[in-house]
Amino acid sequence: MVSRIGVVTFPGSLDDVDALRAIRLSGGKPVPLWHASDSLDDVNAVILPGGFSYGDYLRCGAIARFAPIMTELIKEVEAGLPVLGICNGFQILCEAHLLPGALIRNDVRTFVCTDQDLRVESIDTPWTCDFQPGQQINIVLKNGEGGFVADADTLRRLEGEGQVTFRYINGNPNGSFHDIAGICNERGNVVGLMPHPEHNVDPLTGPTTDGTLVFRSVVGFLAAKV
Protein backbone atom coordinates (compact mmCIF):
# COMPACT_ATOMS: atom_id res chain seq x y z
CA MET A 1 0.00 0.00 0.00
CA VAL A 2 1.31 3.43 -0.93
CA SER A 3 1.68 5.78 2.04
CA ARG A 4 -0.60 8.79 2.06
CA ILE A 5 1.28 11.88 3.17
CA GLY A 6 -0.68 15.06 3.80
CA VAL A 7 0.53 18.63 3.29
CA VAL A 8 -1.44 21.34 5.07
CA THR A 9 -2.08 24.56 3.18
CA PHE A 10 -2.60 27.62 5.40
CA PRO A 11 -3.46 31.08 4.05
CA GLY A 12 0.02 32.30 3.07
CA SER A 13 1.69 28.91 2.67
CA LEU A 14 4.16 28.99 -0.23
CA ASP A 15 5.90 25.66 -0.46
CA ASP A 16 2.94 23.32 -0.13
CA VAL A 17 2.99 22.44 -3.83
CA ASP A 18 6.73 21.72 -3.78
CA ALA A 19 6.23 19.49 -0.75
CA LEU A 20 3.42 17.59 -2.50
CA ARG A 21 5.68 17.14 -5.54
CA ALA A 22 8.59 15.95 -3.39
CA ILE A 23 6.33 13.29 -1.86
CA ARG A 24 5.25 12.10 -5.30
CA LEU A 25 8.85 11.97 -6.59
CA SER A 26 9.82 9.95 -3.51
CA GLY A 27 7.20 7.25 -3.95
CA GLY A 28 4.48 8.47 -1.58
CA LYS A 29 0.93 9.53 -2.34
CA PRO A 30 0.60 13.29 -1.78
CA VAL A 31 -2.64 14.42 -0.11
CA PRO A 32 -3.45 18.15 0.00
CA LEU A 33 -5.00 19.17 3.34
CA TRP A 34 -6.75 22.46 4.14
CA HIS A 35 -6.10 24.40 7.36
CA ALA A 36 -9.79 25.04 8.04
CA SER A 37 -10.70 21.36 7.89
CA ASP A 38 -11.00 19.41 11.10
CA SER A 39 -10.03 16.14 9.39
CA LEU A 40 -6.62 14.79 8.50
CA ASP A 41 -8.22 12.58 5.84
CA ASP A 42 -6.67 9.40 7.30
CA VAL A 43 -3.16 10.29 6.13
CA ASN A 44 -0.17 8.33 7.46
CA ALA A 45 2.06 11.39 7.95
CA VAL A 46 1.75 15.17 7.73
CA ILE A 47 3.99 17.98 6.49
CA LEU A 48 3.50 21.59 7.57
CA PRO A 49 5.10 23.48 4.68
CA GLY A 50 7.10 26.68 4.43
CA GLY A 51 5.74 30.11 3.67
CA PHE A 52 4.20 33.00 5.57
CA SER A 53 1.01 31.66 7.14
CA TYR A 54 -1.31 34.52 8.07
CA GLY A 55 1.31 36.94 6.75
CA ASP A 56 3.55 36.16 9.73
CA TYR A 57 1.24 38.47 11.71
CA LEU A 58 1.78 38.57 15.48
CA ARG A 59 4.63 36.02 15.38
CA CYS A 60 5.55 33.49 12.69
CA GLY A 61 3.21 30.53 13.08
CA ALA A 62 1.34 31.98 16.08
CA ILE A 63 -2.03 32.19 14.36
CA ALA A 64 -1.68 29.07 12.19
CA ARG A 65 -1.02 27.12 15.36
CA PHE A 66 -4.71 27.59 16.26
CA ALA A 67 -6.08 26.60 12.82
CA PRO A 68 -8.89 24.01 13.07
CA ILE A 69 -6.77 21.22 11.57
CA MET A 70 -4.17 21.66 14.32
CA THR A 71 -6.50 20.27 16.98
CA GLU A 72 -6.67 16.98 15.12
CA LEU A 73 -2.95 17.09 14.35
CA ILE A 74 -2.00 17.55 18.01
CA LYS A 75 -4.21 14.59 18.94
CA GLU A 76 -2.63 12.35 16.29
CA VAL A 77 0.91 13.42 17.24
CA GLU A 78 0.26 11.91 20.68
CA ALA A 79 -0.70 8.68 18.91
CA GLY A 80 2.63 8.71 17.04
CA LEU A 81 1.75 10.32 13.70
CA PRO A 82 4.95 11.38 11.89
CA VAL A 83 4.89 15.17 11.37
CA LEU A 84 7.48 17.31 9.63
CA GLY A 85 7.55 21.11 9.87
CA ILE A 86 9.63 22.90 7.28
CA CYS A 87 10.60 26.55 7.95
CA ASN A 88 7.22 28.19 8.71
CA GLY A 89 6.02 24.68 9.58
CA PHE A 90 8.84 24.42 12.15
CA GLN A 91 7.73 27.77 13.59
CA ILE A 92 4.14 26.51 13.82
CA LEU A 93 5.28 23.34 15.64
CA CYS A 94 7.22 25.44 18.18
CA GLU A 95 4.26 27.79 18.70
CA ALA A 96 2.05 24.71 19.24
CA HIS A 97 4.58 23.42 21.81
CA LEU A 98 4.91 20.20 19.85
CA LEU A 99 8.61 21.10 19.69
CA PRO A 100 10.56 23.01 22.36
CA GLY A 101 12.16 26.43 21.89
CA ALA A 102 11.29 29.22 19.46
CA LEU A 103 12.52 30.83 16.25
CA ILE A 104 13.43 34.50 16.28
CA ARG A 105 14.62 37.01 13.69
CA ASN A 106 18.01 36.16 12.17
CA ASP A 107 20.88 37.75 14.08
CA VAL A 108 22.23 39.08 10.75
CA ARG A 109 18.97 41.11 10.49
CA THR A 110 18.46 40.16 6.86
CA PHE A 111 16.51 37.53 5.02
CA VAL A 112 18.92 34.69 4.29
CA CYS A 113 18.70 32.66 1.08
CA THR A 114 21.58 30.26 0.55
CA ASP A 115 22.58 26.71 -0.31
CA GLN A 116 23.33 25.60 3.24
CA ASP A 117 25.65 22.82 4.42
CA LEU A 118 24.14 20.63 7.14
CA ARG A 119 25.05 17.58 9.13
CA VAL A 120 22.41 14.96 9.87
CA GLU A 121 22.80 14.48 13.62
CA SER A 122 20.12 11.87 14.23
CA ILE A 123 18.70 9.17 12.01
CA ASP A 124 16.34 7.90 14.73
CA THR A 125 13.28 9.65 13.29
CA PRO A 126 10.81 8.69 10.55
CA TRP A 127 12.06 11.69 8.57
CA THR A 128 15.81 10.93 8.71
CA CYS A 129 16.09 7.13 8.86
CA ASP A 130 17.35 6.85 5.25
CA PHE A 131 20.38 9.09 5.90
CA GLN A 132 23.75 7.87 7.12
CA PRO A 133 24.64 8.96 10.65
CA GLY A 134 26.63 12.21 10.44
CA GLN A 135 25.94 12.55 6.70
CA GLN A 136 26.80 15.96 5.32
CA ILE A 137 24.22 17.41 2.98
CA ASN A 138 23.45 20.68 1.23
CA ILE A 139 19.91 22.05 1.23
CA VAL A 140 18.53 25.50 0.50
CA LEU A 141 17.80 27.76 3.46
CA LYS A 142 15.54 30.80 3.03
CA ASN A 143 14.04 32.68 5.93
CA GLY A 144 13.97 35.89 7.92
CA GLU A 145 13.23 34.35 11.29
CA GLY A 146 15.28 31.19 11.59
CA GLY A 147 17.26 31.79 14.76
CA PHE A 148 16.57 28.83 17.03
CA VAL A 149 16.55 29.76 20.72
CA ALA A 150 15.78 27.80 23.87
CA ASP A 151 16.76 28.04 27.53
CA ALA A 152 19.86 26.28 28.83
CA ASP A 153 17.94 23.32 30.29
CA THR A 154 16.10 22.70 27.03
CA LEU A 155 19.33 22.87 25.02
CA ARG A 156 21.00 20.42 27.41
CA ARG A 157 18.07 18.05 27.04
CA LEU A 158 18.00 18.35 23.22
CA GLU A 159 21.73 17.62 23.00
CA GLY A 160 21.68 14.89 25.67
CA GLU A 161 18.71 13.00 24.27
CA GLY A 162 19.80 13.12 20.65
CA GLN A 163 16.96 15.46 19.72
CA VAL A 164 19.13 17.69 17.54
CA THR A 165 18.33 16.30 14.12
CA PHE A 166 20.14 18.70 11.75
CA ARG A 167 23.01 21.09 12.45
CA TYR A 168 24.41 23.94 10.35
CA ILE A 169 28.04 23.37 9.34
CA ASN A 170 30.58 25.63 7.62
CA GLY A 171 28.99 28.70 9.22
CA ASN A 172 25.92 29.55 11.25
CA PRO A 173 23.62 31.57 8.98
CA ASN A 174 21.19 33.02 11.53
CA GLY A 175 22.47 32.89 15.09
CA SER A 176 20.73 29.64 16.04
CA PHE A 177 21.92 28.34 19.42
CA HIS A 178 24.32 25.38 19.08
CA ASP A 179 24.08 25.79 15.26
CA ILE A 180 20.76 23.96 15.44
CA ALA A 181 18.95 23.68 12.09
CA GLY A 182 16.40 21.04 13.07
CA ILE A 183 15.14 19.18 16.13
CA CYS A 184 12.69 16.45 17.03
CA ASN A 185 10.41 15.81 19.99
CA GLU A 186 11.21 13.22 22.68
CA ARG A 187 9.38 10.47 20.84
CA GLY A 188 11.04 11.38 17.53
CA ASN A 189 7.87 11.44 15.41
CA VAL A 190 7.78 15.25 15.16
CA VAL A 191 10.67 16.92 13.35
CA GLY A 192 11.11 20.60 12.51
CA LEU A 193 13.84 22.14 10.38
CA MET A 194 14.48 25.54 8.85
CA PRO A 195 16.11 24.47 5.53
CA HIS A 196 13.84 23.29 2.71
CA PRO A 197 14.40 19.64 1.64
CA GLU A 198 11.41 19.88 -0.74
CA HIS A 199 13.39 22.28 -2.95
CA ASN A 200 16.29 19.82 -3.31
CA VAL A 201 14.62 16.89 -5.03
CA ASP A 202 15.29 17.63 -8.70
CA PRO A 203 18.69 18.23 -10.35
CA LEU A 204 17.01 20.75 -12.66
CA THR A 205 16.20 23.18 -9.85
CA GLY A 206 18.83 22.65 -7.19
CA PRO A 207 22.55 21.96 -6.76
CA THR A 208 21.77 18.71 -4.92
CA THR A 209 18.95 16.23 -4.50
CA ASP A 210 19.81 15.67 -0.82
CA GLY A 211 16.30 16.65 0.23
CA THR A 212 14.85 13.53 -1.40
CA LEU A 213 16.14 11.39 1.48
CA VAL A 214 13.82 13.17 3.94
CA PHE A 215 10.77 12.09 1.96
CA ARG A 216 12.18 8.64 1.13
CA SER A 217 12.81 8.17 4.85
CA VAL A 218 9.18 8.60 5.80
CA VAL A 219 7.91 6.57 2.82
CA GLY A 220 10.24 3.72 3.84
CA PHE A 221 9.36 4.09 7.51
CA LEU A 222 5.64 3.86 6.80
CA ALA A 223 6.06 0.91 4.42
CA ALA A 224 8.03 -1.01 7.06
CA LYS A 225 5.34 -0.31 9.65
CA VAL A 226 2.47 -1.79 7.67
Partner 1 sequence: MARVVVNVMPKPEILDPQGKAVTGALTRLGFAGVSVRQGKRFELEVDGELSEERLAEVHRAAETLLANPVIETFEVRVEAGRGDQQVAVETAEAAPAGAH
Residues that bind partner 1 (CB under 8 A): 58-59, 62-63, 66, 94-95, 100-102, 104-107, 109, 147, 149-150, 175
Minimal distance in Å, beta carbon 102 to partner 1? 5
> Do 176 and 164 meet the contact criterion of CB atoms below 8 Å apart?
no
Among residues 199, 37, 10, 23, the alpha carbon closest in space to that of 113 is found at 199
Residue among 18 and 179 whose Cβ is closer to partner 1: 179
Pick 34 or 66: Cβ nearer partner 1: 66
CB of residue 19 to partner 1, shortest distance in Å: 25
Helix (H, G, I), strand (E, B) or coil at 115: strand
Smallest distance from partner 1 to CB 147, Å: 7
Q: Which amino acid is at 217?
A: S
Q: How far apart are CA 94 and CA 104, in angstroms?
A: 11
Query: CB-wise, 2 or 36, nearer to partner 1?
Result: 36
- Taking the least distance from each CB to partner 1, the nearer of 28 and 147 is 147
Question: In the bound complex, what is the minimum distance in angstroms from residue 212's beta carbon to partner 1?
Answer: 33
71's enclosing H/E stretch is helix 68-78
Residue 35 contacts residue 224 (beta carbons within 8 Å): no
Per the CB < 8 A criterion, the answer to whether 205 and 212 are in contact is no
Kindly state the DSSP code that residue 51 receives in the 8-state scheme: B
d(CA 211, CA 146): 18
Pick 74 or 104: Cβ nearer partner 1: 104
Active-site annotation, residues? 87, 196, 198
Query: Whole-number minimum distance, CB 93 to partner 1, in Å?
Result: 12
- Give the separation between CA 115 and CA 208, rounded to whole angstroms: 9
Helix runs in 113-205, H state only: 152-160
